[in-house]
């Protein structure tokens, strides 16, 4: 049997493209042999390829190669300078039999096994179409190259997919098998020099409970890799070189220190694309404060310029599927979705991988990474120096948990979901600065005051020493700071209604002379802290609305009687029924 296959492109650095490269991947269960067919009809052997292995052949455009598998022969023609062909005798239209579902995003193939929710494939089509909306040329190049997106079911793992079953051991992780490492490391891949395909997982596409990447969309990251490796380098031979130059400049300037974007120019690009579409993680061992387009423009203008060049006016404002159950998601019921759980066999591997990430962060930044805990659903990052006084730290953490538990109990669940997106940092006291809790809306103030800008949009506590006393004065001061975060991140600090109600309360003198209570329970008359500005007005009144404030009105009932307009507004803004 003889068939002719037109090959798929794979990813090689531009510097390696002195002559065309043809990659042949053997997905057959047995060895195959590859021959170059000369113009006079002779065959010159290029050797055998064992199952699960590949060979990259330096060649010339127009050269023909024959894959011989027993009596079956498949001809591959070298047509472009970077090519590849996955030989799989059981495949249908080039797609392995493992995949029983194949859909297309205007021709671009997306596949999944029978275990994958059809809604995950529909969501993948939706996102791919958005990312390629302004680049039909890139889409065509990717389709012509043979690229495809492979979607994992929530209970499938990386090496279950035929394209990635051959992934080998990783240096530095000799204690783990290749299968353990890759299944624990990745819920999505973007392709490499020997893997032309990209992948993502249904629990992330459909936002299942337990999704390990619930603060970002992994398809955007991995598909950005594939756009780079399979599309952009084919429509613009200078793209990879220019991207590498921008990456080198960023590294020389000290940008992205310790962040995943500093790994190489491939991750630099994919992380930049995520931020371009306002969909990245921030403030952890692999990410700094940059997670939006505006922050990327300010922080790394060269990378932002490349993103603008590629995506132009592309509009992609990602929100979770639960917020848009129409169109391609009509009929999807999130309440019936399964939960993603890491299997016990991968827990050791997960721990070793996390440990390595912390080590690399410390080496890159010269600082020890904060210890990270999950308390009542919040990510809490603890400075290592605070463990020197473990008694004080644990007492503060216990009180923090009490405050967070109360927030979960009294604040509407939808608003709690937003509040849990706010990281909590616990740090030592700063010289000549009183211990306190404070929300940091911008990176500029942090830099100007010698603090780490990674804490932008987060709450910082430097009051471990006085945490108990502060709790006696303000039983839930954590709620106060999280109210600032909600005002900024959800409502917007320029919220017109809050400002208007604040100005009316200020003009009426309602808060000019009210009772305040200290940590010993003593009361005196004072001007309410709520009158500082509209931000403090919102946070102080929120404390009274849901918990207890240290200024009058202390409670919800008192707030309702004293300031009914603000009481009604708070109920609406926080979603209280």
- Ramachandran angles phi, psi of 517, nearest 5°: -120, 135
Quote the CA–CA distance of 17 and 10 in Å, as a whole number.
12
Q: Which residue has the higher pLDDT, 81 or 318?
A: 318
CATH fold of 2-87 reads Immunoglobulin-like (2.60.40)
**3-state SS class at 304:** helix
Q: Would the CATH topology of 2-87 be identical to that of 101-311?
A: no
Each domain of the chain, given as residue ranges in start order, spans: 2-87, 101-311, 371-573
Task: Please give the pLDDT value at position 86.
Answer: 87
Answer whether 278's CB lies under 8 Å from 293's CB: yes
Asked if 91 contacts 8 with a C-beta cutoff of 8 angstroms, the reply is no
Query: Which segment of 205-214, 408-417, 431-440 scores lowest on mean pLDDT?
Result: 205-214
Query: Average pLDDT, whole number, for the chain?
Result: 91
We find that the CATH architecture of domain 371-573 is: 3-Layer(aba) Sandwich (3.40)
Peptide bond connecting 197 to the previous residue in cis, omega within 30 degrees of 0 = no
pLDDT > 90: percent of the chain:
73
pLDDT of residue 185: 92
Q: What fold characterizes domain 101-311? A: Collagenase (Catalytic Domain) (3.40.390)
Mean pLDDT value of segment 215-239: 92
Query: By the 8 A CB rule, do 260 and 225 touch?
Result: no
pTM > 0.85: yes or no: no
Q: Looking at residues 495-501, what average pLDDT do you find?
A: 98
Average pLDDT over residues 56-85: 88
DSSP 192: -
State the angle between helix axes of 239-252 and 301-311 in degrees (0 to 180), rounded to the nearest 10: 160
Q: Which of 165, 157, 163, 156 is nearest to 115 (CA)?
A: 156
């Amino acid at each position: 049997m003889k068939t002719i296959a037109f090959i798929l492109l794979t990813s090689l650095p531009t510097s390696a493209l002195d002559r065309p490269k043809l990659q042949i991947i053997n997905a057959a269960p047995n060895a195959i042999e590859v021959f170059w067919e000369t113009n006079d009809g002779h065959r010159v052997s290029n050797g055998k390829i064992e199952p699960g292995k590949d060979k990259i052949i330096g060649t010339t455009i127009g050269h023909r190669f024959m894959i011989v598998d027993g009596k079956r022969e498949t001809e591959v023609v070298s047509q472009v300078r970077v090519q590849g062909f996955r030989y799989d005798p059981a495949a249908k239209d080039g797609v392995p039999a493992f995949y029983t579902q194949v859909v297309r995003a205007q021709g671009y193939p997306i596949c999944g096994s029978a275990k994958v929710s059809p809604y995950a494939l529909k969501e993948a089509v939706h996102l791919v179409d958005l990312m390629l909306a302004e680049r039909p040329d890139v889409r065509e190049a990717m389709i012509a190259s043979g690229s495809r997106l492979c979607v994992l079911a929530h209970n499938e793992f990386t090496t279950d997919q035929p394209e990635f079953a051959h992934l080998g051991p990783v240096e530095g992780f000799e204690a783990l098998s290749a299968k353990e490492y890759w299944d624990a490391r990745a819920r999505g891949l973007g392709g490499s020099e020997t893997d032309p395909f990209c992948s993502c997982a249904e629990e992330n596409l459909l936002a299942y409970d337990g999704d390990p990447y619930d603060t970002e969309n992994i398809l955007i990251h991995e598909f950005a890799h594939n756009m780079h490796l399979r599309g952009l380098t084919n429509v613009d031979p200078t793209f990879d070189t220019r991207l590498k130059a921008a990456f080198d400049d960023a590294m020389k300037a000290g940008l992205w220190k310790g962040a995943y974007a500093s790994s190489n120019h491939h991750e630099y690009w994919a992380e930049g694309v995520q931020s371009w579409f306002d969909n990245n993680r921030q403030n952890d061992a692999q990410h700094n404060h940059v997670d939006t387009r505006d922050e990327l423009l300010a922080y790394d203008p060269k990378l932002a310029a490349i993103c603008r060049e590629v995506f132009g006016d592309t509009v992609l404002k990602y929100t979770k599927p639960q917020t848009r159950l129409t169109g391609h998601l009509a009929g999807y019921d999130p309440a019936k979705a399964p939960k993603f759980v890491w299997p016990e066999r991968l827990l050791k591997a997960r721990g070793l991988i996390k440990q390595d990430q912390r080590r690399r962060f410390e080496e890159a930044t010269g600082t020890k990474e904060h210890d990270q805990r999950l308390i009542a659903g919040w990510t809490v990052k603890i400075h290592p120096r605070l463990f020197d006084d473990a008694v004080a730290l644990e007492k503060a953490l216990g009180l923090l948990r009490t405050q967070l538990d109360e927030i979960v109990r009294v604040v509407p669940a939808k608003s709690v979901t937003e509040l849990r997106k706010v990281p909590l940092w616990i740090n030592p006291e700063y010289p000549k600065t009183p211990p306190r809790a404070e929300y940091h809306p911008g990176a500029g103030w942090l830099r100007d005051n010698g603090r780490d800008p990674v804490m932008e949009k987060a709450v910082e506590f430097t009051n471990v020493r006085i945490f108990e006393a502060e709790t006696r004065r303000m039983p839930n001061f954590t709620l106060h700071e999280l109210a600032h975060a909600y005002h900024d991140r959800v409502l917007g600090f320029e919220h017109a209604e809050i400002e208007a109600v604040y100005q009316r309360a200020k003009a009426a003198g309602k808060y000019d002379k009210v009772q305040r209570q200290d940590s010993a329970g003593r009361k005196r008359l004072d001007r309410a802290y709520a009158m500082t500005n509209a931000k403090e007005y919102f946070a102080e009144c929120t404390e009274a609305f849901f918990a207890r404030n240290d200024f009058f009105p202390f409670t919800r009932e008192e707030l309702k009687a004293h300031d009914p307009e603000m009481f009604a507004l708070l109920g609406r803004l926080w979603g209280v029924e």
